[in-house]
Amino acid sequence: MSELEKVVVEPEFEHTSTVIWLHGLGASGNDFEPIVPMLECPNTRFVFPHAPEMPVTINMGMVMPAWYDIKTLDWSSQDREDETSIRKNAELVVDLLKEEHDRGIPYDRIVLAGFSQGGALALHVGVRYPHTLAGMMILSAYQILSDCYDDEAEKANKSTPILFCHGVYDDMVPVMMGRAALDAMVMAGNPCEWNGYKMSHEVNMEELFRIKEWLQDALI
């Protein structure tokens, strides 16, 4: 069983699909819970895990909810993200996927989603998962451990659809980093969709409407 505490929104009707949604750095699983009703997925269970708390180097070593340590603000650094904490917490996300499968939900009825740092980990786990998922939603995020992708990517998710959404004015995760992740997945053969929005490092209503449509296509 996963060690992660989580916020769960149970489906209104029969449980036939699941969305596992990872929050951003310093946030919590409560962040996206309020939007569930507007997504109109009555047969979908939404799981919002809380990241473990750990010291984060770029925030002066302060302890906060984080999916992995970020060592520098330099996007060009090969050692920007801490590989040890990425791989450790990726296993906790894998445990969440297995838990939903044990509930009787086929893997191809599970969407793995995340915002910012959570989106980066969702993409990392999703492309490496040995069972085909329904899709991935990568929101205001980027690719981590990209040098390992060719050796570690699983064939099972080489054709899994991926939704990328990003603010074109994002001052936390530059839009070019989101585009780089998109380009890598397109090159790998995944059917990808890119949506840029006139916003910063956030989620707006236009984006949520597209998420709703995309989820309904993927799960209903």
Question: Which residues belong to the active site?
Answer: 116, 170, 201
Helix (H) or strand (E) holding 214: helix 205-219
Helix (H) or strand (E) holding 139: strand 135-139
Please tell me the distance from the alpha carbon of residue 85 to that of residue 14, in angstroms, as a whole number. 36
Any idea what the Cα angle at residue 10 is, between residues 8 and 14, rounded to 5°?
A: 150
In the structure encoding, which two tokens stand for residue 175, read together? 């839009």
Please tell me the distance from the alpha carbon of residue 20 to that of residue 8, in angstroms, as a whole number. 9
168: Cα within 13 Å, side-chain hemisphere: 5
